[in-house]
Structures are given as C-alpha cells and as structure tokens.
Structure 1
C-alpha cells in the first residue's frame, strides 16, 4: 500500500504528464516567433500591411475562409473580418463601431490585400 503523502504527488505528476500530451493552441511566444507570429487571440498572423498610415494584421481564422483584421498599434485593435476569401468578391465585416468610418474608407485596400495574402498562402489542387 502506498502512503497517503505520496499519493497526491503521483496523481499530480500523472495529471501534468497528461496535460503536456494535449496539443493546446499557442497564445503567445516569448520572444515572438518570426516565422509564424501569433496574435493575442491565438491566431497565426499571415500578413501585415500598412494601409492609410495604420499597420493592419491579417490573422487566419483556422478552419474558415476568413481573416481577422486588427491594428498592430491602435487600441481598440479589432477592425473586423474579411469573409468569402475563396470567392471573387470577398466582403468586409466591421466588428468595432469605433473604426467604421476608417474601414469603409479603406475597404477596397483591405479586401485587395486580404485576397493577395490568401492566394499567396493557399494551395490549389488540380486532382
């Protein structure tokens, strides 16, 4: 029989081992990864573009054909999403009313950049 003082330690060790085996999404890296940087929502940033004197980050929403748009330095940082990237007419969805006027003024530049980044980072299969 195992004494009680060792039971908790062994259970804790097994629990930590099980947690380390689970593939959890990365929230941030320190120092930031230069190959595939991660934004504050845990999404990979595929591109950064300067539009109208603001740096805009294009983060891939995993499993969907959309980008999450955020400002790199402005707060609040969320602009919205570009959806329907696999179609000829992607659309801008504005999430934060604070940036509505700026986003509508620069909608064409935002969607063109998103389309360019999307085509550069996706592969098409002809099989």
Structure 2
C-alpha cells in the first residue's frame, strides 16, 4: 500500500523544492539599462536598425549564437544566427511569418551579428 502513493509523494516534494528555489528574473519593469533581458530570459547585448526596424540581439549563453527578435513587431522572434565563431555564420529562421523579410535581409542580419560577436567576445590565450 505504501508503494501506491510513492510517486505522488515524490512529485509533491519535488514541487515544494522547485517553489523554494529563487528563479532568475525574466523581465524587469522598467527594463534594466545595464543588461536588459528578453522574454526568453536571455541577455540583450545590442539593438540595431536593419531596414528601419530595431532588431535585438540576445546572447544564447554557452553557444556561439544570437537570438534575433523584433523590438516592436509581433510575433517578436525572427530566428538565430549560428556559427558565429566561424567565418561563415548562418541565419536560421524560426518564425514563418518573418521568412520573407528575413531572407531579404539575411546579409545585414548576419553581418551585424558577426560584428557584434567579434566586438563583445575576447580572446583568451593560455
């Protein structure tokens, strides 16, 4: 009979433990001026105008990629620029509604991401 309720007890204790953990702040009002955070919880490193639209470049921590989002257009997600540590970065489009615009502006998006990546990362030699 004890084994019958074990899963429920474990789940209950797990939920209690999760509620006691302080989760990182996803968004602040007003936005933090030093390091703003996007809705996915990623730090926004820069905002650049491409075709008169402000595009936010959010750092995906631990990866050589930026998450690209519109600042004033819904849905906000455009996609990702990956392989930033290589000479040939690529744009991955995540939102079908923005496919046409993103393909038309693929070169400025990848160039801006590459420039931002080289300006914000430092080379460590040991």
TM-score by length of 2: 0.81
Give, in angstroms, the shift of residue 23 of structure 1.
5.5
Give, in angstroms, the shift of residue 64 of structure 1.
1.1
- Structure 1 or 2, whichever has the larger Rg, is 1
The 5 Å alignment of 1:65-84 reads: 65-84=64-83
Q: Distance in 1 between matches of 2:29 and 2:51?
A: 30
The 5 Å alignment of 1:31-110 reads: 31-110=30-109
Q: Distance in 2 between matches of 1:104 and 1:31?
A: 33
Q: Which runs of 5+ in 1 are unaligned?
A: 1-14
Q: Distance in 2 between matches of 1:31 and 1:56?
A: 19
The residue matched to 2:56 in structure 1 has which SS? Answer: strand
The residue matched to 2:40 in structure 1 has which SS? Answer: coil
The 5 Å alignment of 1:6-21 reads: 19=20
Q: Which runs of 5+ in 2 are unaligned?
A: 1-15
Q: Distance in 2 between matches of 1:64 and 1:34?
A: 24
Q: Distance in 2 between matches of 1:52 and 1:33?
A: 26
Once the two structures are superposed, residues 24-43 of structure 1 have per-residue CA deviations (whole angstroms, 9 ceiling, x without a partner) of 32201122100100001110
Moved beyond 3 Å, runs of 4+: none
